Structures are given as C-alpha cells and as structure tokens.
Amino acid sequence: MDDNNWITKCPCGQNQDADGLMIQCDRCLVWQHGDCVGLFTEASVPDQYFCEQCKPQHKIHQEARRRRAEVTQARQIRIARARGRLRVERQEKDRVGRKPNKKKSVTKR
C-alpha cells in the first residue's frame, strides 16, 4: 500500500496523519496515532498490533480507554469549575448593578 492510500481511523476522532508515532493494525490495516492508543515510543510497539475495532478487549485499548475517561473527567471538572466561577461573577455583577431595596417604614398604630 503506498502512502497515498493510508487510512487513518483513530479513537481521538482526528482521522489525519500526525507528526508523531503512527501504528498500523495488522488485521484491517488502518493507521492510528500512537499517543491515542498508549504507545508513546518505538520500544513500546508490540510485535503485533490490532486496532480497537479488530480486538476491542486488548489490554492496550482498555488502558487507553481508561486514560481517555480520566482526561475527559478532568476536563469536565475544569469546565464545571469555570462555569461556577462565571456564575458567581455574573451574580456579583448583577448585585453591583442593582439599586439597593429601600425598606418602607411601617408605623404601628
């Protein structure tokens, strides 16, 4: 297969070649980013590699899914915290912009 016929199908959703390590499935011949499947160096590449579609229960994919879930959870926490700060800032801004409520004096008879 020549370079023009490479098919990149990666769990990250970015289905284009990357500058880093790329690995090819030995069964379906798709290419994936090494970082996305937990293979960061040439030394970590196994003798045989099967993508998540061909061998979903492989240890490499289980670990990669766990890492992606951790990253997603951390990202969601950061977003929630940022939204919370924005909400507090908006509430403070609204309070500053409002006129204070004047209490009506009530006279008892």
**pLDDT tens over the chain, length 109 residues:** 445 567 888 877 777 777 788 989 999 999 988 888 888 888 988 899 998 888 867 777 777 778 778 878 888 888 888 877 777 777 777 776 666 556 565 666 5
Rounded to whole angstroms, the Cα distance separating 72 from 83 reads 16
Sequence-separated (6 or more) residues with CB below 8 Å from residue 22:
8, 31, 32, 33, 34
Domains annotated for the chain, with CATH where assigned, are 3-96 (3.30.40.10)
One-letter amino acid at 57 equals Q
What is residue 57's predicted lDDT score, i.e. its pLDDT? 72
pTM score = 0.51
What is residue 60's predicted lDDT score, i.e. its pLDDT? 75
